[in-house]
Amino acid sequence: MTLLDVREISKLFGGLAAINEVSFVLERGEICAVIGPNGAGKTTLFNLITGVYRLDGGEIVFSGKKLNGLKPHQITEYGIARTFQKIRLFTNLTVAENVRIGQHCRTKAEVIAALLRGKKTRAEEKAIEEKTRELLSFVNLDNKRNELARNLAYGEQRHLEIARAMASDPALILLDEPSSGLNPHETDELMDRINLIRNQGITIILIEHDMNLVMGGTDHIIVLNFGEKIFDGPPTACQRDTEVIKAYLGQEYAVCSN
């Protein structure tokens, strides 16, 4: 079943097309990688899907709803969350507080009700705390819940950002270079965690440069080059595509056709 339908979207900067009439369909439950050279338009694509940039053409439909013109917080409420290439945590807040903030779009208590701390407010606070504990346990950070986020190791910060994204109850998570800066062991752990996220019914798109992770851990690959889509299909076909090999993969990850 289709979750995300991207239809001929474009984005111009100073007359140059960062994204040029790109289309693709993402099915529920997929792990999809967006790859390509630096400057290919990968993060611009994420920014368009999440409402950071406005479309200059085309449309994006998510779970049957058109996203054109919506603000980032509205798109989060619809069920799309993301992480960033450069980690964006609230570094002066604790690990637990970062995850609680991720649940803000799902909370219902108004200011007066929160001040009066009625039964519904207390129940909601309890649910928030339980979910925070579950997510921190999921990323192996429950023992550091009271640490300031800035004091975490780099890999732990990456995992905390994923936990915060999951806190908004998304149907789709966009991960921007999640393995960046991780060692091989941490990358293996990341891939295991991504599969566990998918097992929870969450669909995933990731921008990634680690081709071992991409080729071994995804169902679907989209390749961008100079803002245009040059490939859309499974990993096995991607490794045999001559245009992709020439533009990005090189011979190291190419698989020759028999």
pLDDT digits (tens, 9 = 90+) for 190-199: 999 999 999 9
State yes or no: pLDDT of 257 exceeds 50: no
pTM (two decimals): 0.87
So where are the chain's domains?
1-79+171-258, 92-169
State yes or no: pLDDT of 256 exceeds 50: no
> What b/e string do you get for 25-50 counting C-beta neighbours within 10 Å, with b at 16 or more?
ebeeebbbbbbbeeebbbbbbbbbbb
State yes or no: pLDDT of 108 exceeds 70: no
Q: Which of 135, 126, 70, 144 is nearest to 102 (CA)?
A: 135
Q: Where are the alpha helices (DSSP H) in 117-153?
A: 119-138
Q: pLDDT band at residue 47, thresholds of 50, 70 and 90?
A: very high
Comparing 147-151, 171-175, 213-217, 231-235, the range with the smallest average pLDDT is 213-217
User: Domain 1-79+171-258, what architecture?
Assistant: 3-Layer(aba) Sandwich (3.40)
Comparing 103-112, 142-151, 249-258, the range with the smallest average pLDDT is 249-258
